[in-house]
């Protein structure tokens, strides 16, 4: 199961997210939950850089369980902060939509940091 944890501050602003595990919803190369989660996550990370010139701080390790952490850099200007929040909201709600259909393969939670 993929466990997606999104961390927000007291002002409901996203700070980071962590993805752990594997969906195991199909054979390697045919796992549609894994493919959807990977595509959405990489799209948000890459487009933060391409569209906003914001490099998220990434920690990744492909061990038996899989691990990806993406964190916001410590400071933003006002416009970029709102835009990166929109991208992260998009990711959170897209993964929640996947969870609704495939809850035995992905769990998405919000955590106050």
List active site positions.
Answer: 22, 34
For the four alpha carbons of 45, 49, 50 and 53, in that order, the dihedral sign comes to positive
Yes or no: say if 91 and 64 are a contact pair by the CB < 8 Å rule.
no
Cβ–Cβ < 8 Å for 52, 80:
yes
């Amino acid at each position: 199961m993929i466990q997606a944890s999104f961390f927000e501050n007291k002002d409901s602003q996203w700070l980071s997210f962590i993805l752990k595990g594997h969906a195991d919803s199909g054979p390697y190369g045919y796992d549609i939950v894994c493919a959807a989660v990977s595509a959405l996550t990489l799209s948000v990370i890459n487009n933060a850089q391409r569209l906003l010139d914001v490099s998220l701080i990434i920690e990744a390790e492909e061990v038996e369980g899989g691990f990806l952490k993406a964190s916001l850099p410590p400071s933003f200007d006002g416009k970029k902060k709102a835009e990166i929040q929109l991208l992260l909201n998009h990711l959170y709600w897209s993964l929640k939509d996947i969870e609704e259909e495939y809850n035995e393969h992905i769990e998405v939670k919000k955590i106050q940091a």
